[in-house]
Amino acid sequence: MLNKEIVLVFKKFINDSCDAEEQDRVFSYLQNGEFLDEWNRAISEEADKSIDVNVLSALSSQHKDELENKILKKISKRSIPYWIRYSAAAIVLLALGISLSTFEKDQPTQEPAETLAANVEPGRNVASLTLADGTVINLDDKGAGKLSTQGNVSIIKKGDGEIVYQPIDDVKPVTANNSLATPRGGQYQITLPDGTHAWLNSASSIEYPTSFGPKERRVRIKGEVYFEVSHNKNKPFIAETDGQEIQVLGTHFNVNAYKDEGAIKTTLLEGSVKIAISSTKSLVLKPGQQSSVMPGRDQINVKRVDTEAATGWKNGDIHFNSADLKGVLRQLARWYDVDVDMTRVPAVKINGVISRNVSLAVVLKAIEATSDVHLAIENKPNGEGRRIIMK
């Protein structure tokens, strides 16, 4: 159970309102790795607070820079673990980044790199649904309510960002394939006819029948999808990707099968899953484990991972747990719908966590705050979109 008093002290530290005794307590806790759950809760709740834009926008650019540098130096003075310094810095940058994106975007000057990044907004709930007859429905154009009927199911849009397949009683099942796809800069949720819930990350897709057969529930995915599978011991759920199959009865797991990531990574949160890459090569994952499969290789590697980091995207976070910078930039490219020039990107690891609901400028500043990496964003030479570059 969280210690609410400690959470409160951490919040005061984040807001620069600690007295000397409280500040010493905070540094002691963080140096010793104590109360990390309380620290994460304080960070999360402070990040969710609304920002008084009128107050922040009254600051000149010089004052903003001075404020940012002052707080970052304060955090960096003490020997606090690297990822904790990052988290505290991210809170400051969150406020400053929002003020910049709201206050400076309307200025009629030539856009410098910082303003370009501030104007790159995060992804949103956008996807397209393809029906059995080839009809494509752009879901962000539709309001809540019934979208279509496919065989014995009604397709319902529930508010923003989710569709549900609801079986119709006393109607004979008709098997027809539908698919849901998100673009770069998009995400969406779907409840399948069996009650299984799936979350699609950016540049992802899932193909599925409108009615599952009597022996199995089979879907095919690309990109990254998180599943909470409805339990049915008599009808296994099978998620198919290029190069592997994941077989389950009822469980929670995440699949990352982006082609530019190389390996297909399956992370298990609850229950058990069977990873099969051929008729003779398979293994069963336990909760907390992640399998890695390289397409074309007859090998499955398994390791224990931080499942919260692997599935943070579903909850609106980007986790950098000793993450390769190039991999992080690929994530940002998909979510913010930008390109990345990898030619000068160093082979370094970064740590931390930040919300996916902030502008790209905030994320780039947060990465720079606790590393020697300096990033910028520029218009592409052909004028078609933007790209992240090394300064």
pLDDT single digits (tens) 170-184: 778 778 899 999 999
| Higher local confidence (pLDDT), 220 or 386 | 220
Q: Are strands 273-276 and 244-248 parallel, antiparallel or unpaired?
A: antiparallel
Name residue 206's beta-bridge partners: 180, 221
Greater pLDDT, 157 or 76:
157
Q: What is the pTM of this model?
A: 0.73
Query: How confident is the model at residue 118, as a pLDDT?
Result: 54
**Whats the size of the chain, residue-wise?**
391
Domains 124-310 and 315-390 share a fold: no
Residue 64: count of CB within 10 angstroms of its CB:
18
pLDDT given at position 112: 53
Choose the most confident range, by mean pLDDT, from 243-257, 312-326, 373-387.
Answer: 243-257
State the chain's mean pLDDT as an integer. Answer: 81
pLDDT of residue 367: 84
**CA separation for the pair 227, 346 (Å, rounded):** 34
Percentage of residues in the chain having pLDDT higher than 70: 77
**What element of type H or E holds 309?**
helix 307-310
What is the rounded CA–CA span in Å between residue 190 and residue 341?
Answer: 34
Average pLDDT value for residue range 361-373:
82
Q: Give the Cα separation of 75 and 204 in Å (integer).
A: 38
Q: Which residue would you say has higher pLDDT here, 89 or 267?
A: 267
pLDDT at 310 over 80: yes
Torsion angle defined by CA atoms of residues 220, 226, 232 and 238, in that order, rounded to the nearest 10 degrees: 20
Would strands 289-293 and 300-304 be described as parallel, antiparallel, or unpaired? antiparallel
Confidence of residue 31 (pLDDT cuts 50, 70, 90): low
Q: How confident is the model at residue 301 (pLDDT cuts 50, 70, 90)?
A: very high
Provide DSSP, 227-271. Answer: EEPPP-TTS-EEEEETTEEEEESS-EEEEEE-GGG-SEEEEEEES
3-class secondary structure, 302: strand
Confidence class for position 55, pLDDT limits 50, 70, 90: very low
Give the position of tokens 């600051």.
59
Q: How confident is the model at residue 30 (pLDDT cuts 50, 70, 90)?
A: low
Q: Where are the domains of the chain?
A: 4-118, 124-310, 315-390
What pLDDT, on the 0 to 100 scale, is given for residue 100? 34
Rounded to an integer, what distance in angstroms lies between the CA atom of residue 367 and that of residue 373? Answer: 7
Quick one: pLDDT band at residue 385, thresholds 50, 70, 90? Answer: confident
Q: How confident is the model at residue 82 (pLDDT cuts 50, 70, 90)?
A: very low
Provide the pLDDT for residue 186: 97
Provide the pLDDT for residue 181. Answer: 98
Does the domain made of 315-390 have the CATH classification 3.90.230.10? no
pLDDT-based confidence at residue 103 (cuts at 50, 70, 90):
very low
Check if CATH label 2.40.30.10 holds for domain 124-310.
no
pLDDT score at 114: 52
Question: 97-111 burial string, b = 16+ CB within 10 Å, else e?
Answer: bbbbbebbeeeeeeb
pLDDT confidence of residue 337: 95
* Amino acid of residue 3: N
